[in-house]
Amino acid sequence: MLKKAEAFAVKAHQGQKRKSSNEDYIVHPIRVAETLKQAGSSEELVCAGYLHDVVEDTPYELEDIEKEFGSRVRSLVAAHTEDKTKAWYERKAHTIETVRISSIDVKSLIIADKLDNLRSIEEHYNIVGEAVWSYFNAGYDLQKWYYQSVENNMYAGLEEKAPSFFKSYSDAVQRFFSNK
C-alpha cells in the first residue's frame, strides 16, 4: 500500500513546485512520509503522509483517497486538510485546534508536515533572507504565531509517548523563531 500511495501522490502533484523554490512539490510529501516511517508509524499513517496535500492542492477528493486506500487513510487526510475557501488565519486557527484535540496519529501527521515545512522555510531564509516571507500568505509575525501555537498544543491530551520528531519540531521552532 505504501508504494501505491507514493505513486498516487507523485501523479497527483505532477508539475507542482514548492512555494519558495523550484523544487518538485512531491519531495515534501515523500519527506513527511519518511519522517512518519522512521518513527515506526502505521502503514495507514505513512500513506496519509504521502497523501496529506492531495485533496488540498489537486483535483482529487477525499472519496478518491477512500476508494484507493480505505476509510482510515481518508480520515487521517481529512483531519489535516484545510478548507481553502476560508481565510489564512481561520485555517491556521483550525489546524492549531485540531492539533490540540486530536489523536496521536493526527498530531503526528500534522507535526511531520509542519516540521518539513519549517525546515524548508529555514533553508530558503538562509539563502534569500526576509524575502522568503513574500512566498507566503502571511509574514513573519503570523508564521511565528502559527508554528509556536502548533508547538504549544502538540502534547495536549497525549497519554502516550510522542514520536521523537515532536522534539525536532520544538527545536526547529525555537531555533528559527527565537533568533529573529
Which residues carry out catalysis?
Answer: 56-57
Q: Which candidate, 95, 113, 96, places its Cα nearest to that of 41?
A: 113
- In angstroms, rounded to a whole number, what is the distance separating the alpha carbons of residues 169 and 69? 28
Q: Which amino acid is at 138?
A: A
DSSP code string of the chain:
-HHHHHHHHHHHTTT-B-TTSSSBTTHHHHHHHHHHHHTT--HHHHHHHHHTTHHHHSS--HHHHHHHH-HHHHHHHHHH---TTS-HHHHHHHHHHHHHHS-HHHHHHHHHHHHHHHHHHHHHHHHHGGGGGGGSSS-HHHHHHHHHHHHHHTTTT--SPPPTHHHHHHHHHHHHHH--
